[in-house]
Structures are given as structure tokens and as C-alpha cells.
Chain A
Amino acid sequence: EVQVVESGGGSVQRGGSLRLSCRSFGFTMSAYSMNWVRQVPGKGLEWVSYIGIDFRTIYYGDSVRGRFTISRDKDSLYLQMNSLKDEDTGMYYCVRDDGAAGFDPWGQGTLVTVSS
């Protein structure tokens, strides 16, 4: 079964840092572009960041640019989150970029809670 599994979420103080990880199962992650998408509890989806198969083509959403860093290695995807704000609280999903087939599959998500 093709799937991705996130880890690394948890509670962190405002201004702190957290590193999320994502592993692939059933496919070779290095053959695909990957994304992080987040969702504030009870709210909609927000695209956060993209990394291409060349490891160098990278994009960020306006709300996280300068604070978050996406990276990857052969089998894993990462999101280094620094200077965390209250509004960064939410479920973070690792999502394979399946090109013309959209974002698929989605992981179960890892919850990040930022508090004072």
C-alpha cells in the first residue's frame, strides 16, 4: 500500500522550534516532489511548502517563509519550523505530489500545538 507517515509533532512554546519528519511506504519518495499542507483545527487546508525531486526547487507559503525550512533525503521529508507562532498550531500533513493526479496520498497528519 502506498502511504506516508508523519512524526515529530507536539507541544512547543511560542518562539520555539520543532522538526517534522515524513517517511514513505510502498513507493520511492525520491522519485516524487513532496509537499507539506497544514490545517488549523476546524478550518481549511493551507499549502505550506514544496520540494522538487532535484532537492533544490523549493517554495514556501507567505505565512511561513523565512521561518520554516523544507528538506529531504532519499527516503524522508522534513520540515524544520522555527520562531513558531500561535497561528502555526494545526495538523501538518505530508503529501506526495502526484503531478497531474494531484496530491496523493496524504498521511494521517501530525499535530503541532504552539502555546505561550
Chain B
Amino acid sequence: QSVLTQPPSVSGAPGQRVTISCTGNSSNIGAGHDVHWYQQLPGTAPKVLIYGNTNRPSGVSDRFSGSKSGTSASLAITGLQAGDEAHYYCQSYDNSLNIYAVFGGGTKLTVL
């Protein structure tokens, strides 16, 4: 059971827009901690997709965007492409005793 809750799967047709939610609580996202998003393509290591809630690293398409409100965050992907098919993970930090970082359970994006 992951500390941050994500839907196990989302899907969309090419060109469509999808969103992936990430729900935490008052000790992590709700405490004001940043949320980062990672993309893991099949057979590869994760890479940063969105950092600091809303920021894209150099080289990441502007079709990807992040937002955060209260105890939740969201990743939006517009203009879906076949190459976007991957697992997506949110990550934040936690104020619980001796815990540093927490991940969501991951969301598998399928491009129909």
C-alpha cells in the first residue's frame, strides 16, 4: 500500500488529453512538500518528468504539465502520442517520524 494514491491505469486515444491524480495527506503533500513526477518507459529506469509541482526539465515536452492543490497533485498529458505509453509515478516527502520520501503506486498509461 503506497502512501500516495494514484489510479492504477488511465488510457486515451492519440491526440487526446489525460490526467493522472496523486492523493496524499497532511503529512506529505498537504504539508507543503513539493511533488515530482517520473516517467518510466518499458525496460528503463525512471526519469524526472515534472519537478517542484509544475516545472519541466529541459528536453521534456510542454505537452506534460503538473499542478498541485491541497493534499493532491495532478499530471496532465495533452496531444497523446504512442511514445507516451509508460508508467508514471508521483513522489513527495513526508513529515512522519524517520520517513523521508514517499512514492505513489504508479499509473500505467495506455495509448489506444
Q: List the interface of chain A (C-beta within 8 A of B).
A: 35, 37, 44-47, 50, 59-62, 65, 93, 98, 100-109
Contact = CB atoms under 8 A, between A and B. Distances in A.
Contact of B47 (A59, A65, A106): A106
Contacts of B101: 35, 47, 50, 103
Given A106-B45, A106-B47, A109-B45, A59 B100 contact: yes
Interface string B47-70: 110011001010000000000000
Contacts of B34: 100, 102
Contacts, number: 66
B100 A47 contact: yes
**4 A-B pairs with the lowest CB-CB distances in the bound complex, closest first:** A102-B36, A44-B106, A59-B100, A102-B51
Interface string B65-96: 00000000000000000000001010100000
A101 B57 contact: yes
Contacts of B91: 45, 47, 102-103
Interface of B: 2, 34, 36, 38, 45-48, 51-52, 55, 57, 87, 89, 91, 98-106
B105 A44 contact: yes
Given A60-B98, A101-B55, 9 more contacts: A44-B105, A47-B101, A59-B100, A62-B99, A93-B45, A101-B48, A101-B57, A104-B48, A104-B51
A69 to B, nearest CB: 14
Given A60-B98, A61-B99, A101-B57, A44 B104 contact: yes
